[in-house]
Chain A
């Protein structure tokens, strides 16, 4: 009787959460898959099935695949550059001790800003006429290096990636710092007894000790690089000529500018499945690395 009432209570406690998540997350996800086989203009009540038409369209949509390529580029640049900066700075702050609270606060500050505001900021810095970059070049007599940074496909792509690094590295930094603090002190003491210094200590103590955090930060950075949206919309709106386009923006435009909701849904499914596969990889990796570091510290003791 009592057990039964506790079971009932558990489901009552869970009910609001399950209801909201089911209705506003699970149902739309399933309906999105359904919509990818339909045609919808966003207004009419009629949503006829069109079979694989949407997917056939997406397959030949070079803009979409270009945007996927850009997403991978932003994700990989974030993964390599932002994470390298994050880790170096985390190790530096851990080492410095003095002023660490100040540096921590400042390094994460850009991460507090919204993607839209970051877009506004950098579109000003990079403006060909009134941007600080070109104005500075002119002031120091390097007029020749002035450039329409966001108007040239190559530099525009680099600019978006750079802005992402600026915006994002503080997040990885926070996690790496937490991860570094969790590496047991005894391991460093033991390794310095063995004569390990600098690089060797990093290679054989810090790096393996932080592999769990590194795995998580890597995938989180990769995922958010792939999903860049607000910053790109404000900075370049995908331009020039779609060269900085990202999937989320392309999906948004298909739906809300061209009223092709079915096609947008098909792109959502394709892009979404890629992201989900990556996230699963993260779960798997963090489980595995988590397990192996645990066993390593156990052995160490």
Chain B
């Protein structure tokens, strides 16, 4: 609407404001250094504890219990092998990979179907469904986990993989549906209309044309949910008593309470529990950051 006005505005502001940046730039050196000092301080605050744990996980028991020297001597790579074997991570890690993959896939399929219907098909009750999702989304975990546990016992799904996966899917759905709905609503309609004229079925159009175009939305949902599921702790704690089924966060606390491992082994175990998600973050951080904003702000 104001594209016509914009060029004029810009040229007028730049011509008038040209004298202004001059003095500001001269005064700017010290503030600029202070700015970077602040940024670096923030980075250290975030990184040093992480690096400290990494250092501790590579120290010998003797070094770790004795002093503050952060350089491991020698590097005890064996701590990780010990943690892996004694901590039972060869079970927990594949479990968590399975739960994460299954829950995220389930959320993607179910949420994109629902989000599409809510964005594109007009039907009586649509507004009510959206309103209901907004209400359900605010039911917090502490308000329902006791009853969820009881329900899963009734259904014979407590201490089962499928029970845990279904709870995870149910938890992730409302926000994911709303994100997908917003995404579909912002897409142009023409392609679907063309496909409909060509006689494609609604499901066929959805699968072959809509979904591939929705990739950015799907990625945003997938990355936030993957992080949430990998780090989920409360339901994993409540639902499983069979350690061969436990996800990795629950496995970690199981290791602490059952074996009370030495500190350096426990640190190595913690890093094993976060390594996959940190690697994932390193690879997908752009999407994670935009996904977080999409989830919270839209």
- On chain A, the residues within 8 Å of B278 by CB distance are 109, 112-113
Measured between alpha carbons, how far is A94 from B223 in the docked complex, in Å?
A: 24
B16 close to A (CB within 8 Å): yes
Q: Are B114 and A16 in touch, CB under 8 angstroms?
A: yes
Q: Report the nearest B residue to A261, measured CB to CB.
A: B146
**Number of interchain pairs (Cβ within 8 Å):** 281
A136 close to B (CB within 8 Å): yes
Range, interface on chain B: 35 or more
Q: Are A272 and B20 in touch, CB under 8 angstroms?
A: no
- On chain B, the residues within 8 Å of A124 by CB distance are 53, 56, 263, 266-267
B169 touches which of A20, A212, A213, A265 (Cβ 8 Å): A20
- On chain B, the residues within 8 Å of A115 by CB distance are 231, 233, 249
Measured between alpha carbons, how far is A264 from B285 in the docked complex, in Å?
A: 39
Q: Are A175 and B35 in touch, CB under 8 angstroms?
A: no
- On chain A, the residues within 8 Å of B231 by CB distance are 113-115
Q: Are A24 and B42 in touch, CB under 8 angstroms?
A: no
Give the contacts of A106-126 with B (CB-CB under 8 A). Answer: 106-110, 112-117, 120-122, 124-125
Main SS at interface, chain A: helix
B234 touches which of A32, A95, A190, A229 (Cβ 8 Å): A229
Q: Are A272 and B277 in touch, CB under 8 angstroms?
A: no
Measured between alpha carbons, how far is A139 from B136 in the docked complex, in Å?
A: 53
Q: Which of B72-80, B213-221, B290-298 contacts A (4 or more CB under 8 A)?
A: B290-298
A117 touches which of B171, B202, B227, B274 (Cβ 8 Å): B274
Measured between alpha carbons, how far is A21 from B116 in the docked complex, in Å?
A: 17
B117 touches which of A14, A108, A135, A276 (Cβ 8 Å): A14
Q: Are B142 and A248 in touch, CB under 8 angstroms?
A: yes
Q: How far is the CB of A117 from chain B (nearest CB, A)?
A: 5
B17 touches which of A189, A227, A283 (Cβ 8 Å): A189
How many positions in chain A have a CB within 8 Å of any CB in the partner chain?
101
Give the contacts of A182-226 with B (CB-CB under 8 A). Answer: 186, 189-190, 192-193, 212-213, 216-217, 220, 223
B209 close to A (CB within 8 Å): no
Q: Are A107 and B43 in touch, CB under 8 angstroms?
A: yes
Q: How far is the CB of B142 from chain A (nearest CB, A)?
A: 4
Q: Are A234 and B146 in touch, CB under 8 angstroms?
A: no
A104 touches which of B9, B202, B289 (Cβ 8 Å): B289
Indicate with 1 or 0, residue by residue over A1-43, a CB within 8 angstroms of chain B CB atoms: 0000011011101101110110111111101100100001000
- On chain A, the residues within 8 Å of B42 by CB distance are 85, 89, 92, 103, 106-107
Q: Are A268 and B293 in touch, CB under 8 angstroms?
A: no
B194 close to A (CB within 8 Å): no
Measured between alpha carbons, how far is A108 from B293 in the docked complex, in Å?
A: 13
Measured between alpha carbons, how far is A11 from B42 in the docked complex, in Å?
A: 49
Measured between alpha carbons, how far is A104 from B278 in the docked complex, in Å?
A: 15
B186 close to A (CB within 8 Å): no
Chain A to chain B contacts (Cβ below 8 Å), 19 pairs: A11-B123, A13-B114, A14-B129, A21-B133, A24-B167, A24-B169, A29-B144, A89-B42, A92-B38, A92-B39, A107-B42, A108-B285, A109-B46, A115-B249, A125-B52, A229-B233, A261-B150, A272-B143, A275-B142
Give the B-binding residues of A (Cβ under 8 A).
6-7, 9-11, 13-14, 16-18, 20-21, 23-29, 31-32, 35, 40, 85, 88-89, 92-93, 95-96, 99, 102-110, 112-117, 120-122, 124-125, 127, 129-130, 132, 135-136, 139, 166, 170-171, 174-175, 178-179, 186, 189-190, 192-193, 212-213, 216-217, 220, 223, 227, 229-230, 233-234, 247-248, 251-252, 255-256, 261, 264-265, 268-269, 271-273, 275-276, 279-280, 283, 301
- A-B contacts besides A124-B53, A227-B142, A275-B138, 13 pairs, CB < 8 Å: A25-B170, A109-B46, A110-B50, A113-B231, A120-B256, A121-B267, A121-B270, A230-B234, A233-B253, A247-B142, A268-B144, A271-B142, A275-B140
